[in-house]
Chains A and B, each alone.
Chain A
Amino acid sequence: MKKTLTDYEKIIGPVAISKLRQVARDLKGASVVHVNSTREGGGVAEILFWMIPLMRELGLDALWEVIEGNAEYFNTTKTFHNGLQGNDVILTDRMIRAYEDTVAGNADRLRPVLQDADFVVIHDPQPAFLHELCPDKSGRWIWRCHIDASHPNRAVWNYLRSKVNNFDASIFSMPDFAHKLDHPQFIIAPSIDPLSDKNIELSDKEIKDTLQNFNIDPNRPILCQISRFDRFKDPIGVIKAFNLLNGSFNAQLVLAGGGATDDPEGAAVLEEVHRAANGNKNIHILMLPPDAHRIINALQRASTIVIQKSLQEGFGLTVTEAMWKCKPVIGGNTGGIRLQVHNHHTGFLVDTPEGAALRIRKLLYQPDVISKIGQTAKEFVKENYLCNRHLREYLTLMLGLRKGLANHLIAG
């Protein structure tokens, strides 16, 4: 379903919409081409799914192009991805050839539209080589790195750096993720779309039915962590924290995630999680398909407290999603969780399972605090982490590149 600014205005208010219109005024008619590597699945596609129509409604001529490639290309770009995240990977000449040949093939198809565009936004490393392959470009090229590249594999970064260094600007989600490049690097935090399946309001019936499907009792406190089964998300630590409650408050724990079946390490972690749960009927371990957005939405909405006890985290959009649903979050003291979770205001930052158990007990003992923190958390997300702020900053950056990056930028 196409969502319009009017739909968003009901949630974010007319002032926020006015700011979008003001920034967009000077960009009216500008052609913007976003390029990524998939039209479905993954965070980037989710962003473009709402961003493209809103840019168009604001008067920009926005297009979304997708790189097409074979398995060898995607294996290579997966290596780039893992390498940027700091994993120990091997990048071979053959992989680089496969990558460059594939992008070159796509460039033949995309060159006319890219070279004519006023702005080209390249998402992540997959299409980055296009820049070099469009020598007669007339617009500004922006590299948007969605990945936590704070400690990249050197071989991967050195190669990618040579591909992105000549862009006009780049965008990173947090200062810690940025790298020195020969152009301005902007910091734009990610956001959630309040009208997406993952975040839209649900009926009580849908929430209740979801709980029923998984045998979760709606009348007892629900603690929930939504995450891949990954050691960095510390699901074992969450179970340890839950066990430290010693059955008090008659609470239930839901650990819900997906994507483990084709990932050997994920399968191993899932096995460890089952072992740690030790058959406890109050611990629900749910393997969800990648498109289970409404189920995740329902689980978050049904939760009393949401946990995201990561040991290492990028931005942590599951935290944002939970806060948007008025849930206090007990989050690991790391990465972007630290920007979102503020002790006693939107939840609690913890470093250990013991710390998590302590905060869970405190909150379950004080239901009025749960609702107060939940309301504050929602307001905080509304002000800072919804898609209107994200879009406004993209437009501001484009306007800045067009007008020149002075100390002040007058919108409209």
Chain B
Amino acid sequence: MSEYNDMGFKVKDCTLITRMAGVKEAMNLRELEERLRVCPDECLFHHFCETVIRPTFDYPDYTNDFALWAGSQLRDKILAERLSVLNPYKCKSVDELRQQILDIFEERLSETDHILWAPKNRAFQFLQAVTVVFETDIRLNRPYDFYEQLPNMSHGSIYYHFIEARRRTKWMVDDFTAWLSEFEIEVKPLIKTLSEIDFYFLTLAELKNTLVTVTTEFFKEAKHEKNIN
């Protein structure tokens, strides 16, 4: 699913539509562990990677839905912290991610002498989502357009091109990097800076600000030195 061609980089936007994953709800850690073993890959991806695109205001205490539920409903801070520090984008496959989560669950179960339960009506519901992709009016033809248009991109666009792309593309890189790599050597420092952004622990608003900041800095310097556009 290439986002660019001779016509330039066509910036997309996206939303999610969620559905039940077909896995029974979980009321405690033992049930969560059992269900996690069998839930679809898409469900794992949704609860670990799509948390960021859901509407929220707070800087969430934890970075994924399992950790959020463990913290807020099971009131198990230790479990929540261990789950939260897992970065799914460092895993080579969903299976590897699943195994890491199961290890954490098993470790926690072995440490506790009683099973913590969620309150009534606060079960963990297993969901998955379809990413719905939309066209936007934004086109990028040269690297400088990236700098100019970033502030105009929606959070959906940032999510789709910078985060979700890693699931979609063969080399697991973001769309901006893949596109910038087609240009001359001078944008390599920007590509390197983009690759160093620890995006998993940022909200989409923070991520967008970070992208705007690093891109602005790069083009300011580059313009000063070599007049890149």
Contacts and interface: CB of A to CB of B under 8 A. Distances in A.
Interface stretch (A16-24, A60-68, A156-164, A281-289): A16-24
Nearest to A188: B17
A83 B6 CA distance: 60
A408 B125 contact: no
Contacts of A384: 55
Interface in B185-205: none
Interface string A70-103: 0000000000000000000000000000000000
A168 interface: no
A175 B168 contact: no
Contact of B20 (A18, A175, A346, A411): A175
Nearest to B128: A407
Contacts of A393: 17
B19 A150 contact: no
Contact of A396 (B22, B132, B136): B132
Interface in A1-47: 15, 18-19, 22-23
Given A175-B125, A175-B127, A380-B55, A407 B19 contact: no
Contacts of A178: 20, 125
Interface in B169-198: none
Contacts of A187: 18-20, 127
A342 B56 contact: yes
A292 interface: no
Contact of A407 (B15, B42, B134): B42
Interface residues of B, number: 27
A23 B125 contact: no
Contacts of A184: 19-20
A383 B22 contact: no
Contacts of B22: 180
A396 B1 CA distance: 20
Contacts of A15: 13, 136, 154
Contacts of B127: 175, 187
18 contacts: A175-B18, A176-B123, A178-B20, A180-B20, A184-B19, A184-B20, A187-B127, A188-B17, A396-B130, A406-B130, A407-B42, A408-B132, A409-B17, A409-B133, A410-B133, A411-B133, A411-B135, A412-B135
Interface of A: 15, 18-19, 22-23, 150, 175-176, 178, 180, 184-188, 334, 342, 345-346, 376, 380, 383-384, 392-393, 396-397, 400, 405-412
